[in-house]
Structure 1
Amino acid sequence: MRTMKSRVRNLIISRVPDCMIKNWVTEKIINNSIFILDHVILFGLKFNINRSKRVMSDQESEKVLKKFYFNEQEYIYLSRGRNWLDRNHFDVSIIIPCYKVERYIERCLESVFKIDSKYKVEIIVINDGSPDNTLAIIDNMNLPNNTKVISQDNRGLSAARNKGIEESSGKYIFFLDSDDILYTESFNKAISTLKSGDYDLLDAPYVSFNGLKKQLLNYESVDVEEFFQEYNFELTNAYAWGKFFRRELWLETEFPINYWFEDTHLLYSIFPNVKRYKKVQSPLVEYYINENGITKQADNNMKSLDTLYILEYLLAEVRNKNLLNNKIKEISLVQMSSLLFRRIRFLDEDVQQAAFIRACYYFEKYELNGVYEEKLLNRLNQSFVKRDYRSWKLLSKII
């Protein structure tokens, strides 16, 4: 997560001609702009305090949310066992969940089949009850011997990924969405890098494609190697696809089922256990922006409240494993503010307030109160302590 000041700095620099970026005058303007922004925010917070309204109770919040949608599930401890952990028959297991992708699945698999045969790679395709011709297309392809196709009743992306993890036998696990394309030359180089190092997580930039133009993303801090003394979540994004995960990371965890925003799981249950991290320069995946994807469907959909409910599940898991630390608290603060607000901002005002009160309940239940270097985060922290809905909403718009 970038700090507020760094985001403002990058925004200003993006609008300044290249020839001026190293000019000391420009630097002074940037610093003054950040200073002014800080004071504008402080004024806004004080103004909001004077206009505070009655705080909704936990019972009222739950009543509002249950009226529309409520999806909390209890965390259940998982251990896959030594037999699963000791399966290292392949260098990499590529897991490809499929659901209603008859337009894309052939090109996706064809890109994967080009991987250099000198590497031991297994391809696990999970057909998650597709009602279209997805499975028929797969069956009609000339599948190499290292490909395993598994069909199950439709249970969602998380369940399909979990099934792939359960069936995998690779030292590393790599997730690929079925409407995306693998850049096999970069993938081959990445496997070579993995074999020469002892990494827990290998990451890379990716190419985003919306059907008209392509854009290289996640390119910051390329060709980086880190040995973490503590959890550093700022080096990578929270997408599951496009990364190599050491098998051990999945021994006692899996994706929460029946939630949207399932990749939030990585922030809580996977990344904190990463000690050796590598990021390479060449993109591994061409990510297709699917207009029917969850991100596009979230606006005005009560299911977007999953961004809140999944936290209850993940915080319970983290607490049960004694992994709750300041980094997790900071992540939770951001999850319960800017990300929550962005995903529910089109819902009715009473639903937004009820969601905030529910977040305050989690804040207290899991003792997320903390102290941060960044003033805005401390003020956001206080909005949860005081259950100050107006301040939370203001801060969530800018953090």
Structure 2
Amino acid sequence: MSIFLFRCIRKLRLHALCYRLLYPFCRSTFGNVEENATAAARRLAVLHPDVNSTSLYKNRMMQPFAYDLQIIIPAYNAGPYIEECIESVLSQRTDFSMLVTVVNDGSTDDTLSVLRKYEERKDFCLINQENKGFSGARNAALEQIRARYIMFVDADDKIPRNAVDVLMRTAIRTNADIVEGGYTRFTDDEIISTFRHREQTKADWRILYGFPVGKVYKSYLFADVHFPPGYWFEDTICLYLLYPRCRKVAVVSDVVYQYRQNEQGITSTSRGRIKTLDALWVTRRILADSRRLGICPTSSLYDAFLQDLQINLTRFVSLDETVHRDAFGVTAALLREYFPGFR
């Protein structure tokens, strides 16, 4: 019921009004928790500890780069879809040189045997490792960066044949640090929805969405950053560590990514699980990493922080009310520490 109510408030754009009406009550109710954020964090850690793994890591830049674009595909038990994904990448219509790096992350199905069929290709690199999760798989490929630009594709998704050419031509023409395109969501039977950007190039990175796919990145952005191991919601590095270091970003109207609606993915299966507290822990960890990288707390970053908290609320909403209160206390402490003086 609370999830339905929350979504209705968002759809009706009543969240600002609700805030103004409820602020005095919330202030008095949660005030003691705010003052005791350390104790709140300790109680939450009993339920689900913070793995406390950093996003800062020195990847090896293999310069001079041998390729224009390195496409990284993490694969775990992706047998039903991996071949369709690989074929969509290898069949790109483009003159840009590509290296497709696929990381078999300890699959126990036939994923590895499918990938073995491509091993002899010069534009294909297979990394086979024990299971290390989504972050560990992407990071294995990032340890040796061999191209000027990087792109991520998930093993159950695919990309249209013009995706690389559209993104790379825009990147070269605009000299943007990140270029993002539109996407479709599909099932085995039909296309569910399509999203397209209005084309623009700006210094304001808030025109980008928070997921890592459907984009090309200048590889320098990953020279000292990788995905923090052990967390769910590791994509949070986009908002706090990658986007704020961009001088210029661009979006294109073309659909460049095809996202398979996966009912077994984290987004669908995480609701009500205590590990969703990773959303709080990873935000705390990455904010600390952003400070170590010298990223300034700008208004754009503050907006991203507030949006991140709004998303976290939808992840925590099925958890116990005591968890909500403690998460609020920790979050309020993060706001005071990293964004003092912001409205």
Which interval holds the TM-score relative to the shorter structure?
Answer: 0.7 to 0.9
* Residues 13-67 of structure 1: per-residue CA shift (max 9 Å, x gap): xxxxxxxxxxxxxxxxxxxxx7x885565334345567x3773433542343133
More strand by share: 2
Determine which of 9, 23, 30 is the counterpart of 1:45.
Answer: 23
Matched with 1:112 is 89
Matched with 1:332 is 305
Matched with 2:217 is 245
Could you tell me how far apart the structure 2 residues matched to 1:85 and 1:199 are? 21
CA RMSD between the two structures: 2.6
Matched with 1:368 is 339
Matched with 1:224 is 200
State TM-score, norm by structure 1.
Answer: 0.76
Q: Secondary structure at the match of 1:299?
A: coil
1:314-333 alignment to 2 at 5 Å? 314-326=286-298, 327-333=300-306
Contact 2:178/2:217 (CA < 8 Å) preserved in 1? Answer: yes
Q: Secondary structure at the match of 2:318?
A: coil
* Residues 130-161 of structure 1: per-residue CA shift (max 9 Å, x gap): 11111011113586321011111111111111
Matched with 1:352 is 324
Matched with 1:155 is 132
Could you tell me how far apart the structure 2 residues matched to 1:72 and 1:346 are? 22
Could you tell me how far apart the structure 2 residues matched to 1:202 and 1:292 are? 29
* Residues 329-368 of structure 1: per-residue CA shift (max 9 Å, x gap): 33223323x122110111111112121122223234x342
Displacement of 1:214: 1.5
1:268 corresponds to 2:240: yes
Contact 1:204/1:243 (CA < 8 Å) preserved in 2? Answer: yes
Q: 1:41 to 1:305 in 2, by over 3 A?
A: closer
1:62 corresponds to 2:41: yes
Q: 1:360 to 1:38 in 2, by over 3 A?
A: closer
Structure with higher Rg: it is 1
Contact 1:85/1:247 (CA < 8 Å) preserved in 2? Answer: no
Stretches of structure 1 that go unaligned for 5 or more consecutive residues are 1-6, 13-33, 373-399
Aligned-pair identity in percent equals 24
- The higher-RCO structure (CA 8 Å, 6+ apart) is 2
Contact 2:178/2:249 (CA < 8 Å) preserved in 1? Answer: yes
1:181 corresponds to 2:158: yes
State TM-score, norm by structure 2.
Answer: 0.88
Could you tell me how far apart the structure 1 residues matched to 2:102 and 2:18 are? 52
Worse-matched range after superposition: 65-74 or 345-354: 65-74
Could you tell me how far apart the structure 2 residues matched to 1:43 and 1:249 are? 42
